[in-house]
């Protein structure tokens, strides 16, 4: 459990650093880069939650292709 928390924390720091560096390279603004680096991971976390829910539902059927196809096409 402690290893998972450390791994999550280090990944969050890497994510922040990459987001900051890329945004700063494009804009040259520390303020914009900081804002994007803080907001993007938060939004990405919410999106990832829903992504996981779709994959869980896709794995509940007899084959992964039919449920996934149904979910993606709105037929579930």
Most confident of 26-30, 45-49, 72-76: 26-30
- How do the domains of the chain map onto residue ranges? 2-73
- The string of pLDDT tens digits covering residues 2-17 is 998 898 889 889 989 9
Sign, CA torsion 63/66/67/72: positive
Residue by residue, DSSP assigns 47-67 as HHHHHHHHHHHHTTSSSSHHH
- The per-residue pLDDT for 33 is 98
**Given this model, what pLDDT does residue 34 score?**
97
pTM tops 0.75? no
- pLDDT confidence tier of residue 70, bands split at 50, 70 and 90: low
Distance of alpha carbon 70 from the chain centroid: 23
């Amino acid at each position: 459990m402690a290893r998972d928390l450390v791994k999550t924390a280090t990944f969050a720091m890497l994510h922040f650093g990459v987001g900051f560096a890329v945004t700063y390279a494009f804009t040259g603004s520390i303020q914009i880069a900081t804002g994007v680096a803080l907001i993007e991971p938060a939004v990405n976390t919410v999106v990832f939650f829903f992504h996981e829910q779709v994959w869980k539902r896709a794995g509940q059927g007899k084959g992964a292709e039919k449920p996934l196809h149904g979910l993606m096409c709105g037929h579930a």
